[in-house]
């Protein structure tokens, strides 16, 4: 995975700074020098489109992010106000926020001028970003309190939650549009945002190493299926795992109803992805707000979609077997790719089996099985199926990105499997 340097000004970050400078004053908080000592901007100089060329052409002595100050930048009061709105707009997460006095804790996150300028640029660029950052910080605190983390650990998860996606400021906006099908190149860029975030937190925001580490690990999974490093559970820190779970729950809350129920399924579907403690904490929170009845009436379309998923898993299995047969004639890198995909696919398959739907062969069997259960069970099966579809897509992306990194030949060899896994 590439290690981005902060000495070179990132084009995408600079574009966002310049766009933000049209709404508020952004100026050099000190003289800005190139690496070889040329003064590029004087202290107090306004940042504008005209500064762009000068800044982008040179390596800087100090990261640009540390040399900017913004007027009317984000402060602790605004974080708390955003936190209040975020809590009110996510009633489905209430048990994780209740009783803990979480909001005032946002004030304890140390914000140096560089952190304020980056948060302000992020907010100015896309007003959805700061509510997402704050939601992750609050969820990490809520989970952390239930897990009985120490005060120091709570401070770490709050700061890491707030800054977890700060590295996305370095990514081309087109790649962040979740409605687009990601190309391997786009996915490769996205996969590096935790690495950038880690570097920014340590070198620019002045955060302790534990905060930077938790940011680096916020997309890792205990089964080794995450990114950027694909680390196993034993190499992940507790704070990183809390922020990863908070981030996952936040994205569920931002995209639909019943976030805690969906989170509970997502957390336990592949048993070693998340800490068992986290799973029980979320199960417990879910139990506290469970409605008396779940309205979920599967229809013929659900049966159709489930049958399609059944066929897709079957086709993927056939392709896996074919690849396994041919592995002796291929590069060693192919075996590693195959092993990783095979291991993760096996876990998804087991999750599918847990629903009992893998025993159905005909469409009418699905209709019958989905129709026979009631209330919570139907609802839960629906959640599991949704999660399985999502996991297959994630696996497709991961495989496509890693195959491209090996060689174009590997990318095309694995493409039929990627297509089947991705086809939703
Ligand atoms: Fe995020
Ligand atoms: Fe992220």
Q: Provide the CATH number for the domain around residue 112.
A: 1.10.3210.10
**215, 216, 219, 220: CA torsion to nearest 10:** -130
> How many whole angstroms from 305 Cα to the centroid of ligand 1?
29
Question: pTM of the predicted model, to two decimals?
Answer: 0.88
- Tokens 């922020």 sit at which residue? 243
313 lies in the same domain as 273: no
Q: Which of 191, 162, 199 is nearest to 8 (CA)?
A: 199
- Tokens 């786009």 sit at which residue? 186
Residue 340 and residue 323: Cα distance in Å, rounded? 13
Q: Which ligand is nearest to the CA of 129?
A: 1
304 lies in the same domain as 418: yes
Question: Looking at the domain assignment, is residue 404 inside a domain?
Answer: yes
Query: Count of alpha carbons within 13 Å of 75, Cβ hemisphere only?
Result: 6
Please work out, in degrees rounded to the nearest 5, the angle formed at the alpha carbon of residue 108 by the alpha carbons of 16 and 193. 35
> How many whole angstroms from 216 Cα to the centroid of ligand 2?
9
232 lies in the same domain as 115: yes
> If you ran DSSP here, which 8-state letter would residue 45 be given?
P
15 lies in the same domain as 66: yes
56 lies in the same domain as 122: no
> How many whole angstroms from 39 Cα to the centroid of ligand 1?
36
The helix (run of H) or strand (run of E) holding residue 26 is: strand 26-28
What tens-digit pLDDT sequence spans the chain (424 residues)? 455 678 788 889 999 999 999 888 999 999 999 988 999 999 999 988 888 888 888 888 889 989 999 988 999 999 999 999 999 999 889 999 986 689 999 999 999 999 999 999 999 989 999 999 999 999 999 999 999 999 999 999 999 999 999 999 999 888 777 666 667 778 778 889 999 999 999 999 999 999 999 999 999 999 888 889 989 999 999 999 999 999 999 999 998 888 888 898 888 888 888 989 999 999 999 888 766 666 655 566 777 777 888 889 999 999 999 999 998 888 888 888 999 999 999 988 888 887 777 766 666 666 666 665 556 667 777 788 888 988 898 899 889 888 888 888 888 889 999 999 987 5
199 lies in the same domain as 113: yes
Question: Looking at the domain assignment, is residue 4 inside a domain?
Answer: no
Strands (E) in 185-259, as ranges, are none
> How many whole angstroms from 97 Cα to the centroid of ligand 1?
19
> How many whole angstroms from 99 Cα to the centroid of ligand 1?
25
> How many whole angstroms from 194 Cα to the centroid of ligand 2?
6
Which residue range is the domain that position 29 belongs to?
11-70
Question: Looking at the domain assignment, is residue 237 inside a domain?
Answer: yes
356 lies in the same domain as 214: no
Question: Looking at the domain assignment, is residue 35 inside a domain?
Answer: yes
315 lies in the same domain as 213: no
Question: Looking at the domain assignment, is residue 294 inside a domain?
Answer: no
Question: Looking at the domain assignment, is residue 6 inside a domain?
Answer: no
Question: Looking at the domain assignment, is residue 127 inside a domain?
Answer: yes
146 lies in the same domain as 198: yes
359 lies in the same domain as 276: no
116 lies in the same domain as 246: yes
Q: Which of 289, 318, 335 is the last residue of a domain?
A: 289
> How many whole angstroms from 2 Cα to the centroid of ligand 2?
17
Instruction: For the chain, report the end-to-end CA distance as a whole number of angstroms.
Output: 28
> How many whole angstroms from 47 Cα to the centroid of ligand 2?
28
> How many whole angstroms from 69 Cα to the centroid of ligand 1?
25
| Peptide bond connecting 228 to the previous residue in cis, omega within 30 degrees of 0 | yes
The count of structural domains within the chain is: 3
Query: Two tokens at 326?
Result: 């041919």
Question: Looking at the domain assignment, is residue 267 inside a domain?
Answer: yes
> How many whole angstroms from 124 Cα to the centroid of ligand 1?
17
> How many whole angstroms from 165 Cα to the centroid of ligand 2?
5
340 lies in the same domain as 380: yes
> How many whole angstroms from 416 Cα to the centroid of ligand 1?
30
Q: Which ligand is nearest to the CA of 140?
A: 1
> How many whole angstroms from 53 Cα to the centroid of ligand 2?
30
> How many whole angstroms from 128 Cα to the centroid of ligand 1?
11
> How many whole angstroms from 63 Cα to the centroid of ligand 1?
24
Q: Which of 70, 98, 116 is the last residue of a domain?
A: 70
Task: Measure Cα distances from 320 to 183, 306, 324 in Å.
Answer: 22, 21, 6
The dihedral sign for the CA sequence 316, 322, 328, 334: negative
> How many whole angstroms from 197 Cα to the centroid of ligand 1?
11
């Amino acid at each position: 995975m590439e290690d981005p340097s902060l000495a070179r000004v990132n084009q995408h970050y600079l574009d966002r700074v310049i766009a933000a400078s049209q709404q508020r004053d952004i100026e050099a908080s000190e003289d800005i020098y190139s690496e070889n000592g040329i003064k590029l901007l004087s202290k107090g100089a306004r940042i504008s489109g005209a500064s762009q060329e000068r800044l982008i052409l040179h390596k800087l002595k100090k990261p640009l992010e540390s040399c900017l100050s913004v007027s009317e930048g984000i402060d602790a009061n605004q974080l708390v106000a955003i936190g209040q709105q975020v809590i009110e707009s996510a009633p489905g997460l209430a048990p994780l926020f209740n009783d803990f006095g979480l909001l005032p804790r946002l004030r304890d996150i140390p914000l140096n001028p560089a952190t304020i300028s980056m948060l302000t640029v992020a907010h100015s660029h896309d007003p959805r970003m700061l509510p997402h950052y704050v939601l992750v910080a609050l969820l990490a605190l809520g989970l952390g309190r239930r897990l009985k983390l120490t005060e120091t650990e709570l401070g770490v998860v709050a700061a890491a939650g707030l800054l977890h996606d700060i590295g996305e400021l370095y990514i081309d906006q087109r790649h962040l549009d979740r409605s687009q099908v990601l190309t391997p190149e786009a996915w490769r860029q996205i996969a590096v945002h935790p690495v950038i975030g880690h570097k920014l937190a340590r070198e620019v925001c002045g955060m302790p190493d534990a905060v930077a580490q938790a940011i680096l690990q916020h997309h890792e999974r205990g089964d080794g299926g995450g990114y950027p490093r694909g680390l196993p559970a034993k190499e992940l820190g507790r704070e990183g795992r809390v922020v990863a779970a908070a981030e996952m729950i936040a994205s569920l809350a931002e995209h639909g109803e019943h976030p805690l129920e969906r989170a509970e399924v997502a957390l336990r579907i592949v048993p070693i992805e998340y800490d068992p403690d986290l799973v029980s904490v979320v199960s417990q929170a879910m139990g506290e707000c469970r409605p008396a009845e779940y309205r979920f009436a599967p229809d013929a379309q659900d049966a159709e979609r489930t049958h399609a998923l059944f066929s897709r898993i079957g086709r993927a299995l056939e392709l896996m077997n074919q690849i396994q047969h041919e592995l002796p004639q291929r590069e060693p890198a192919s075996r590693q790719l195959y092993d990783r995909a095979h291991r993760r696919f096996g876990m998804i398959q087991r999750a599918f089996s847990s629903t009992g739907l893998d025993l159905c062969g005909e469409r009418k069997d699905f209709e019958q099985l989905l129709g026979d259960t009631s209330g919570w069970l139907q609802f839960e099966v629906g959640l599991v199926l949704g999660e399985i579809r999502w996991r297959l897509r994630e696996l497709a992306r991961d495989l496509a990105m890693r195959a491209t990194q090996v060689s174009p030949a590997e990318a095309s060899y694995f493409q039929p499997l990627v297509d089947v896994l991705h086809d939703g």
